[in-house]
Structure 1
Amino acid sequence: MSGGTDTVIEKYLSLYALLPALPRFNQRWNHVMVVPCFKEHPDCFMRIPTPPSGQSLLVIGVLNRPETDPDLNANALLRHYVKENTSSSPLPGLTLCPLAPAVTLLMIDLEHIEGATPKSEGVGRARRVGCDLALWLIRQGHIESEWIYSCDADAQWPSHYLSQSWPSDAAGIALPFQHVVDSEAPLNQATLVYELWLHHYISGLEFSASPYAFHTLGSSCGFNARCYAAVRGMPLRAGAEDFYLLNKLAKMGQIFRPAGPPVLIQARASDRVPFGTGPAVARLMASGKPQLTPFFYHQNNFNALKQVLKCFPQWLTRQEPEIHQNLLRLLPEALADAATAQLLKLGLPKAIKHARSNSENVQQRERQLHTWFDGFKTLKFLNGFRDSTSGHQNLLQVSDSAYQPLTTEALCAMRDAMVSQWGWQLQQGAA
């Protein structure tokens, strides 16, 4: 690591890192992956990728239980597995277990060390502890790679991603992914509809030329160690911690989106987090008609966003930007009114003034404005605009499908067509 990188990481480790236990051992690994574990079955370790020949992987599992779950035996199965397969216990609450010849599990029993996780922090704290320990191990020379990989217990990475060389300007990576479905069961239907929503949203951001057009799943992403430290680590949130971290990392460098085979994610409804894939799938199943549930954005939302972003350079050159007047030339009056109202509510004029007064050239001004209008503000703009205009649409409306309802096979075909634009190579056997 360079001296500058060392300084950034040292500062983070000394001031902000959550390191409830620092193990001492002599082993070295090529790669590190963090997996939060709550109410999981030991079979989840069968999905850990085997590193390429001659390489090794340390998996940091973080056993946790949110205080919202009173079941003290929620993690009993994993605890029993770890106890039965222990090779050593560097510290109380930390256990090393061999999973395969080149794969080692370092299980942190966060529940044992700290007790139940605060409701407001949830899985964010589990990921934070795991990633912070990974960063410390990188700094200590126990991990060769400068990348921290993030996975979930229900996901399986293709092994070759462990040996990829990522772009030097990448702050993070967002990998292809695919939920595994194999029947017409309501769970599979709901999962596919939600996955299509995820892809529809990213496609809309791409259409709008947003710099925040990337997926944000904690099961299929990774972070450059220095950039992770520079943005002060994983947010302590009970949900969407992956979204907020990647959003911050995107301001440090690109979020690289490789083509290739997907991370395979098991389809399941879940209450482990308050929002995200699991709860969304559960709500779609409860609706009884996931394909008719309106939660997709109307194309008008992305049309408006595209025109807003197109106006940024022009607004930055004006002492008093004519936001509403400019949008009236590009959008129907009702949409221009709604877009203007949302931009004013978000504080765009103040952000423009700040970018103009704190940047030396046009490129810096645009970068600063896009840093302000980040993935979170983009989402707030789209939600506010949606609520004041066309509302939500359902899958059949955004797909213009003549078939009602769509079969699982048809939903998979729709998904395959959407992700082919990104070079994703989905596994047909996994549907």
Structure 2
Amino acid sequence: MKPIDRVSAINRYLQRNGSGPVEVLPDPDPDLFLCVVIPAYKEDDLLSAIQALLACDPPDVSWEILVHVNYPENADETAKLTSILSDRLVRDFAKSLKGREDVRIYSLLSKGLPTKHAGVGLARKIGMDVAIGRMAQVNQPDGILVAFDADASCSRNYLLEIVRFYRDQLSAQTANIYFEHPLEVAPGKENRSIAEYELYLRYFRLALEQAGHPHAIHTVGSSFTVRADAYARAGGMGRHKAGEDFYFLHKCLLLRNFYEINTVSVFPSARESDRVIFGTGATIIKQNATGVGLEVYDLDSFTPLNRLFSRAKSYFASPELFLADLDSWQELYPSLSGFLHEQDAPSEIARMIRDSASIASFITKFFAWFNVFRVLRYLNQVHVSDYGKKPVLEEACRLATQSGYSVGADVVSMLQIYRDIDRNRGVRRIL
């Protein structure tokens, strides 16, 4: 598709699915190539994230930081005042910035977002919609949107390596960024709750990968990048009050050319937070309140999935094999067999075979259907009927041993092993 057609596609997205009119900003630099989007609600230290970005090695392109300060219509007066002061702080800081011709900083203020939809999903969507509109203004469909958070930090090479990656990998559409939550809450004292939570994220991703699912990715809102036109083709960010990153990134996977950049780091906050109903902040609140260690999916629950995923290619050439497997699994894996019947899998498999011209096409359709959302539905169901959740350290050690990695004595040392697994993968294509 020609650049002008791709820009037209962005504009069509904004007309049909955009978040609507917002504050008018000055025209972008004609050479704009990268925009960091930061949603902010009830933040009293916005400048730390901005300063972390400005401390990065210059990316050698024209770029912007777009902060979207927002609050819902039912916000209390303290939240409203904090937001208004944050917006003013960013604007004043942008005016005072000297000696940086490469970057422009803007604050958007959205007052009283509809309570029904207000949340991090809508906040991130509005900011990213504005960002791709600015890319379209300068005919830059290849421009990069960078998702960041108001309480995050990053390594010095963060922006430079992102730009280098997209210039080297011209076909790349989306790329996740390596992340690490800060663990030390005081000298010599580590935050066990966040260590357990991050270990769970890495355990689940590796367990899913070992089970054979090609969509095994991290979904952390402050740790991904996407080209402007890919954002539009994926349908943009959803308005979910939580998990917006999960839904969006799994839509991006279907566009293919999805990568990981493990040579830079984002450092998301490990703080408690009531801004979203689940995710890092909510999990930390629960962990700290109960004092109970985090329990996760039993590693054994992934075994039936591995059996299904490893045989998927065979079903294209031999549809009756799937029905035979379903029958045999009634004894071996009764919960998986029952779940597949509940999901009308025989009809779905038949439809995929009918609509596919090749094994590759069939496999793409199969995993778009049995996606990670469906995997989670299955896991949650079987952990009511067949399995019990187990301590994260126990299952992470089992998976590491099974995968040929070393084992740590405690949660923090085990987390470091899992971090090294990702780090050592460098830049790689997922799909």
Q: 2: distance between equivalents of 1:363 and 1:379?
A: 24
Mapped pair 1:287 → 2:290: yes
What are the equivalent positions in structure 2 for 1:68-217 lying under 5 Å apart?
69-71=75-77, 72-85=80-93, 87=95, 98=97, 101=100, 102-111=102-111, 115-141=112-138, 146-158=143-155, 159=158, 160-166=160-166, 167-183=169-185, 188-217=191-220
Correspondence for 2:302: 302
The answer for the alignment partner of 1:263 in structure 2 is 266
Equivalent residue for 1:42?
A: 46
Closer, same or farther in 2 for the Cα pair 1:386/1:328, shift >3 Å?
A: farther
Give the direction of change, closer, same or farther, for the CA distance of 1:142–1:118 in structure 2 (3 Å limit). Answer: farther
Which one of 58, 63, 79 corresponds to residue 57 of structure 1? 63
Amino acid at match of 1:82: V
Q: Secondary structure at the match of 1:47?
A: helix
Runs of 4+ residues deviating >6 angstroms: 184-187
Give the CA deviation at 1:420.
1.6
Q: What corresponds to 1:358 in structure 2?
A: 355
Distance (Å, rounded) in 2 between the aligned partners of 1:129 and 1:19: 8
- 2:344 corresponds to: 347
Relative to structure 1, is the Cα distance of residues 322 and 311 closer, same or farther in structure 2, using a 3 angstrom cutoff? same
Change (3 A) 1:270 1:210: same
Q: Higher mean Cα deviation, 188-197 or 253-262?
A: 253-262
| TM-aligned CA deviation for residue 32 of structure 1 | 0.6
> How far off its partner does 1:187 sit?
7.9
**Number of positions where the alignment pairs a residue of Structure 1 with one of Structure 2:** 402
CA deviations over 1:263-301 (Å, ceiling 9, x no partner): 1122201011111111011111111133xx32x111112
Alignment correspondent of 1:333: 331
Task: Provide the C-alpha distance between the structure 1 equivalents of 2:351 and 2:97, rounded to a whole number of angstroms.
Answer: 54
How far residue 222 of structure 1 moved from its aligned partner, in angstroms, is 1.0
Deviation (angstroms), 1:79: 2.8
Task: Return the offset for 1:386.
Answer: 2.5
> Which one has the bigger helix percentage?
2
Tell me the equivalent position of 1:16.
17
Letter of the 1:25 counterpart: D
Deviation at 1:340, TM superposition (A): 1.0
RMSD, aligned α-carbons: 2.8
Contact 2:14/2:133, CA 8 A, preserved across alignment: yes
| Structure 1 residues 35 and 143, CA gap change in structure 2 (3 angstroms) | farther
Q: Contact 1:346–1:377 (CA<8 Å) still a contact in 2?
A: no
Say if 1:14 and 1:379 are closer, same or farther in 2 by CA, change over 3 A: same
* SS of equivalent residue, structure 2 residue 108: strand
Partner of 2:403: none
Q: 1:69 to 1:140 in 2, by over 3 A?
A: same
CA distance in 1 between partners of 2:40 and 2:99 (Å): 19
Q: After TM superposition, give the deviation of residue 318 of structure 1 in Å.
A: 3.6
Pair 25,51 (structure 1): closer, same or farther in 2 beyond 3 Å: farther
Contact 2:339 2:378 in 1 (8 A): yes
The answer on whether the counterparts of 2:36 and 2:65 sit within 8 Å (CA) in structure 1 is yes
Return the offset for 1:123: 1.1
Q: SS state of the match for residue 238, structure 1?
A: coil
The letter of the residue matching 2:82 is A
In 1, the alpha carbon distance for the partners of 2:63 and 2:99 equals 10
For residues 78 and 193 of structure 1, the distance between their equivalents in structure 2, rounded to whole angstroms, comes to 32
Shift in alpha-carbon separation, 1:149–1:256, aligned structure 2, 3 A: same
Query: CA 1:374/1:195 → structure 2, altered by over 3 Å: closer, same or farther?
Result: same
Using structure 2 for the length normalisation, give the TM-score.
0.85
For structure 1, list consecutive stretches of 5 or more residues without a partner in the other structure. 88-96, 402-407, 427-431
Q: Which deviates more from structure 2 when the two are superposed, residues 131-140 or residues 149-158?
A: 149-158
Q: Distance in 2 between matches of 1:77 and 1:46?
A: 18
Tell me by how many angstroms 1:237 deviates: 0.7
Over the matched positions of the two proteins, sequence identity in percent amounts to 23
Residue in 2 that maps onto 1:405: none
User: In structure 2, what is the Cα distance between the partners aligned to 1:175 and 1:266?
Assistant: 15
User: Which residue type is aligned with residue 172 of structure 1?
Assistant: T
Q: Which residue type is aligned with residue 43 of structure 1?
A: L
Q: Tell me if the contact between 1:32 and 1:134 (Cα under 8 Å) persists in the aligned partners.
A: yes
Give me the whole-angstrom Cα distance separating, in 2, the residues matched to 1:409 and 1:300.
22
Distance 1:39 1:288 in 2: 27
Q: Which structure 2 residue ranges, 5 or more long, are not aligned?
A: 399-407, 427-431
Tell me the TM-score normalized by structure 1: 0.85
1:60–1:107 contact (8 Å) kept in structure 2? yes
1:15 aligned partner, one-letter code: R
